[in-house]
Chains A and B, each alone.
Chain A
Amino acid sequence: MTNTDTQLATLDAEGLSLKSVSLWQITWRRLFKRKSAIVGLVILGILVVIALTAQWIAPYDPIKVLLGTEPVKPRQAPCIHLLGCPADQPQHIMGIDGNVRDQFSRLLYGARLSLMVGFSTVTFAIVIGTVLGALSGYFGGWIDNLIMRIMDVLLAFPSLLLAIAIVTVLGPGLINALLAIGIVSIPAYARVVRASVLSVREMDYVSATRALGGNPFQILFYRILPNALTPLIVQGTLGIATAILDAAALSFLGLGAQPPTPEWGSMLGAERNQVFTAPHLVFYPGAAIALTVLSFNLLGDGLRDALDPRLAHISG
């Protein structure tokens, strides 16, 4: 980045460039021209605010059992004063869960975990995937063959099943579930990085750097990898969506977050047999997962279109 900046500054000083607009400014502008991307950004913004302020906006402690402190029963239906629930009853806008806790507060706290799950697994997968993909694409030969065949094997298993197997080996728990989801999503990033390394490896500017005596790591990190940044961002945003879904599925099966952690997947899993009698306990956590995943999907699609150079002539 700093390199480009100084170059642009030099160009400016020499009066060669018109008004310089960075890639990110263009992307940002294009992103705001798409309604779906804006919707995604807004939902995501709200979720981030909820996650950051959960301890102040949640009406109850998410793991506190209300039995004895309030006249409520397990799995009580939602009580909203505005919708005609008698004022002498305590308000629980999403009802009470099976362990007599306030579902709404648990849902708010769940946003924290869900976002954390998404970002941490994808960061892990991107870091490892980038290293593997870069080595594979840059050095080629047997290194490439070895790494890519391993990736093929990982891709040969349905990702959720492989994640289940890895969690079983590591033992159930949120951290292990994150690790498992991170591992199964490595191949996607390794492939993206390898493809973009291959596409620029033989270009003149790379040969020039090599001729100037740049060492392989310099070339790889400063000359080649920046080209992989845009596909990685798109893949990563969409990957967060998948990671959140998979983590929720693992927790739903009891392999991820353990009770009483307020995690949406495990909240849903714990009450799944009560769906016919207390549907609110299944509906809200699932809707929260869907909304979060939707926001990342919309944003990822928007970014893909905004970062696509083929569309550069349309707007800018």
Chain B
Amino acid sequence: MFQYIVRRIFLSIPVLFGILLVTFALARLIPGDPCRAILGEKATQAVCDRFIREKGLDKPIYVQFGIYLGEIARGDFGNSIRFSMPVTRLLVERLPTTVELSFSALFVSMLIGIPLGILSAVKHNSWVDVLTMVWANTGVSMPVFWLGLMLAYFFSVILKDTPFWLPPSGRVSPGISAPPFNEVWGLTAQQGSALDAIYQFISRLNILNALLTANWELLKDAVQHLILPSLALGTIPMALIARMARSSMLEVLGQDYIRTARAKGLTQRMVVLKHAFRNSLLPLATVIGLSLGSLLGGAVLTETIFGLSGVGRTLFEAITARDYGIVQAFTVVIAVFFVVLNLIVDISYAYLDPRIRLE
């Protein structure tokens, strides 16, 4: 097992290098003059010349790439032009929104998708099965941005003045106090230190922060705000998960050992949940892992629609505004996250199926 993990980690090194190369190349290829994009349209030629010399932009491209690699190795992503602050600080500020959104979307999609898939496999060809499949096919076909807007319209306009009303945008309602957990707990950290960044990151995860500080008002409000974006973002993975759960369950349920389990008089519940479900997990792990990746792409659209300033929307705005610092840093973070995710999926395969790690 350990050997397998080490081998997989080594295999992802060239991919990581490739990601850095592509990100660097894309950021350099974005049309426009970096100096005037950073210092403003009115920068004089002399100022620009000095800027280019200081930033090493006059050196050969491979030297620039080397400088870039060195900066990243030191955790220095440079400054954002538009926000004039270090990109890492911006990341600490924006990443929690996306993390919270992606995980709650994944949570919703697994919570509904897996039971639905199992149910429709167990009741194969019944109306439950047909309905689930019709719904799953529709689910994967809906554009995230449309679904989000329609949900917002339905829950905040049509259901206005009913108990089912949900807020159409933002993360918390104005006026809700959300003291960070470290202040409540009396923990302090030096401003700008790594510990401080970690505290900030955690306290910006509203739900976690609310739980840590026993702030039930904040918890309720944050959950209310999360429901619609999570549903919008979670629908496609939900449909994929339901479909995969159904088909892998069907395959497993047809096998001999299931018949044996039934023959020895186990209840349906035992057979399905203990014997069949475990073996249908492997393909499910693939779909869940791959969905997390598509969630990050979908987050751009969901965050735009629901007015959330997360990583996706910030990156999109940075690309259109040619904010190189943000583009390079955020893309790298997302892609690395993606690679790590694939690594976890692969390792979980090896854990779930011993045949893989022995190969």
Contact = CB atoms under 8 A, between A and B. Distances in A.
B20 to A, nearest CB: 10
B296 interface: yes
A153 B22 contact: yes
Contacts of B211: none
Contacts of B300: 160-161, 164, 253
A294 B140 CA distance: 8
A298 B19 CA distance: 34
A65 to B, nearest CB: 25
Contacts of A76: none
**Which of B137, B312, B339 has most A Cβ within 10 Å?**
B137
A156 interface: yes
A297 B294 contact: no
Given A161-B315, A282-B153, A297 B296 contact: no
B31 A171 contact: yes
A294 B139 CA distance: 9
A253 B18 contact: no
Contacts of B150: 275, 279, 282-283, 286
A294 B141 contact: yes
Contacts of A158: 293-294, 296-297, 334, 338
B150 to A, nearest CB: 7
Contact of B30 (A168, A290, A293): A168
Interface string B281-307: 000000000000110111011001100
Chain B interface category by residue count: 35 or more
B143 interface: yes
- Consensus secondary structure, chain B interface: helix
A265 B141 CA distance: 14
A165 interface: yes
A83 to B, nearest CB: 19
Contact of A248 (B137, B143, B293): B143
A152 interface: yes
A206 B320 CA distance: 51
Nearest to A245: B143
Contacts of B35: none
A287 B145 CA distance: 11
Interface string B232-244: 0000000000000
A245 B339 CA distance: 24
21 contacts: A152-B18, A156-B15, A156-B335, A158-B297, A159-B297, A161-B296, A161-B300, A164-B316, A165-B26, A165-B331, A168-B30, A169-B26, A169-B30, A245-B141, A249-B144, A265-B143, A276-B153, A286-B143, A289-B146, A290-B138, A290-B146
